[in-house]
Structure 1
């Protein structure tokens, strides 16, 4: 939960780097929240909650994806590759799973060593 909250606190921070753990913990909690909301909505017979939640986490999701790409020394613009059906999603998963640069890169210091 701590990783999820930290991403939300950095709501629109597109600079710096994000560890794999930060990215994947946010993705995991986001998936659990979406599933829970879907079940709750099914019981209520509405779709408004999922829409509100999706809009609320859209910017933080993009921001953490950009920071994750920065950790692998890629430009944040690579996040647009996810717009390509199937292949783009697979590419983003691979980029997010790669080990970040061990040393400082042009996007900042190694977040593992920073804290």
Structure 2
């Protein structure tokens, strides 16, 4: 489960941002998580709850996860389609000359602090 390592990295980054901006308490954190990012949202949330209880700055901050759908582009027909539903093969022209446009992202979108 690499989610715990991901959470530790997020916490470290947030602590640095808080220090740079004289923030004592972070009230919530919003991340954008790609549908095919390999991070499992439920595991991430569980790890977040466990790890943030051990910090002062994030002890009561919920983690809000916004899902980014996975979309693939086909070079052959110039179409876009749902990656999870169809995989690498374009459902329109059956080409496998495709690449992922979005859906593998993992980024901190917003930090709320009062």
Rg: which structure is higher?
2
Which structure features the higher share of helix residues?
A: 1
With the length of structure 1 as denominator, give the TM-score of the two structures: 0.31
TM-score between the two structures when normalised by the length of structure 2: 0.31
